[in-house]
């Protein structure tokens, strides 16, 4: 009986077709929108915006009528971005840091802490039940 089952299993494996698999890739496009306003809340239309990646000028343009400046960042958009905005006799500077940390790493770190806490909790509960 065991031989018959082994032969049936072997035949099934030999008759099985080859598996076809394909991979999936995900692209990422990061768009940065800066909104520029004056103290009174009015949009800073036509304000000059310079965007730097590190110390290199990446983009330069003016805001639209609503005070908006939009740029598509290269690659995954990660890096240290610095912007300078000037218009209407005013100027401002700011920074944006986009890093490539994976949420999975943060979750794994959380589980690394949570796992031992659960074990400790179970040990304490068992000790209390014995008392």
Q: What is the dihedral of CA 56, 59, 61, 64, to 10 degrees?
A: -130
Contacts of 28 (CB under 8 A, 6+ apart): 76, 77
What whole-number distance in Å separates Cα of residue 116 and Cα of residue 22?
38
Strand order in the sheet with 90-98: 56-62, 48-53, 79-87, 90-98
Tell me yes or no: is domain 27-116 CATH 3.50.50.60. no
The H helix count followed by the E strand count for the chain is 2, 6
Per-residue pLDDT of 8-43, as tens digits, reads 555 555 555 555 667 777 766 788 888 998 888 899
pTM of the model: 0.57
Alpha helix (H) residue ranges in the chain: 2-15, 103-130
Tell me: the pLDDT tens digits for 105-131?
A: 555 555 555 555 555 566 667 777 776
Encode pLDDT of 45-94 as tens digits. Answer: 999 999 999 899 999 999 999 999 999 998 888 889 999 999 989 999 99
């Amino acid at each position: 009986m065991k031989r018959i089952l082994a032969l049936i299993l072997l035949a099934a494996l030999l008759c099985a077709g080859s598996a076809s698999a394909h991979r999936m890739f995900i692209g990422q496009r990061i768009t940065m929108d800066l909104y520029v306003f004056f103290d009174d809340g009015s949009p800073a239309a036509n304000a000059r915006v310079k965007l730097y990646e590190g110390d290199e000028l990446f983009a330069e343009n003016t805001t639209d009528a609503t005070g908006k400046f939009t740029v598509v960042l290269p690659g995954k958009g990660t890096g240290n971005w610095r912007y300078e905005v000037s218009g209407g006799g005013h100027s401002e500077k700011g920074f944006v840091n986009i890093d490539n940390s994976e949420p999975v790493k943060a979750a794994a770190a959380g589980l690394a802490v949570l796992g031992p806490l659960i074990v400790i909790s179970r040990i304490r509960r068992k000790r209390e039940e014995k008392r």
